[in-house]
Amino acid sequence: MRYAWGRAWRACGYLLLAGASGLATLVMMPLGVAVVLLIVVGGVGLLLLPRCLVLSVRWTDLHRRRAARFLGEEVPELPVPAATYLREMWREPSVRRSLRWMPVFTLVSVVLGMLAVFLPGMVLNTVQTLMWWALPVALRPEPYGIAIDGWGIALVTVAGQVLSFIVLALWVVPASARAHARLCLLLSAPTEAELLTERVDRLSRTRAEVVDSHGAELRRIERDLHDGTQARLVAIAMQLGVAREAVSDPAVAALLERAHQGAEEAMTELREVIRGVYPPILADRGLVGALTALAARSAVPVRLDLDDPGELPVSVETAAYYVVTEAVSNASRHADAETISVVLSRSPGLLRVEVHDDGRGGADENSGSGLPGLRRRVAALDGRVSVHSPAGGPTVIEAELPCAS
């Protein structure tokens, strides 16, 4: 019984607050109409209406989450429209849903809020009925049009009020509160398509964060290997060389010679590993400097057209470098190219890389050219790679890498 009364008072409080919110929404809607009229008359509302629409979405989400808490459910937070232009904002599903929700919410909340107000009123009526004898005749209560002028009619009226109060409090009000909350969730719930879009956006952001974190970790590993392990191997190789020159025993000198060669081979392998993890030249010179050095080392003349890309995520910078490296390597080794051109440009949110060579073309992604690896590396960043290489040439490799604006 204690639980039942607790549920009743909780439902009554929910409906009372819903009724107050409904009245507040009733005031907000005419204000929205006034803003629209300002748009028509003088255009002033163009500055106010987007903010009003954002406010309506937040207001809807507030009551949606409140209804979910009352029902003991979990709901995702509604995305607030990021658009600042009226035309773009009007296309937002959350805005249209909020505008449909507000009039229905207002009507239902005001009606059911009056039902919740009726319960405390019944308690006050009961007290007044029992105190009929202490009031002047002219001021004696007449609940529901029944004059209270004796204990008989007073007790019958009180019994009816108590019975009605119990029925309303224990069954009608809780059922009405649950119905109100369900209706609020139903009208304000995003569609499956919206939920799927939000989930995809969240996964894309999470993956981008993971890729950036991975790139930063690779850069740290490269720095540790370059500055730590490689430096120690160099020191060991030098010490072995000095020791080999200092000993007179041929057998010991031969052992030191093999150890010295092993240390140098280990350094060579370590340099290859470091270049595979994260090219050191990127850390030293940046993307433009690294591509300039690549062109200088190439056996085939490379013409560069490089815009300053500004600050880039580590993962994007590395992917762009490997795209150019692989394309230049393929043109030099397999295409018999005489000239290669590299174009690097950046637009808001996108880094474009284009490598063009005048070789014989016919690039085959299944022949070990490294193009599948490039596709996987770029696809991990939600990028795109296109290869146009007809027989006889030329070959054009383009990559588009999303990056922060």
Res 171: pLDDT: 87
What integer pLDDT is reported at residue 281 of this predicted model? 74
Determine the residue type at 58.
R
Q: Are strands 340-347 and 302-306 parallel, antiparallel or unpaired?
A: parallel
Q: DSSP secondary-structure letter at 85?
A: S
SS3 for 348? Answer: coil
pLDDT of residue 35: 60
Which token pair is 20?
A: 């107050």
Q: How far is CA 201 from CA 19, 204, 207, 351, in A?
A: 36, 5, 10, 20
Please state, in angstroms and rounded to a whole number, the distance separating the CA atoms of residues 308 and 312.
11
What stretches of 82-92 show up as alpha helix (H) in DSSP?
86-90
CB–CB of 148/157 below 8 Å?
yes
CATH assignment of 285-402, given 3.30.565.10, 3.40.50.300, 3.40.50.1970, 3.30.465.10?
A: 3.30.565.10
Determine the straight-line distance between the first and last CA of the chain, rounded to whole angstroms.
61
Cα(403)–Cα(247) distance, integer angstroms: 58
Distance of CA 262 to the CA centre of its chain: 50
For the chain, which residues score pLDDT lower than 50? none
Burial (CB count within 10 angstroms: exposed 0-12, middle 13-18, buried 19+), residue 180: buried
Predicted local distance difference test score (pLDDT) of residue 179: 93
CA gap 138, 399 in Å, rounded: 91
What is the signed CA dihedral for 6, 12, 15, 21, rounded to 10 degrees? -100
* SS3 assignment, position 395: strand
Q: Give the strand pairing for 350-357 and 340-347.
A: antiparallel
- Identify the H or E element spanning 173: helix 173-188
The residue with tokens 């490379």 is: 302
| Pairwise CA distance, residues 267 & 290, whole Å | 22
**DSSP one-letter code for 310:** -
- The closest of 339, 349, 393, 399 to 373, measured between CA atoms, is 399
Strand partners, 193: none
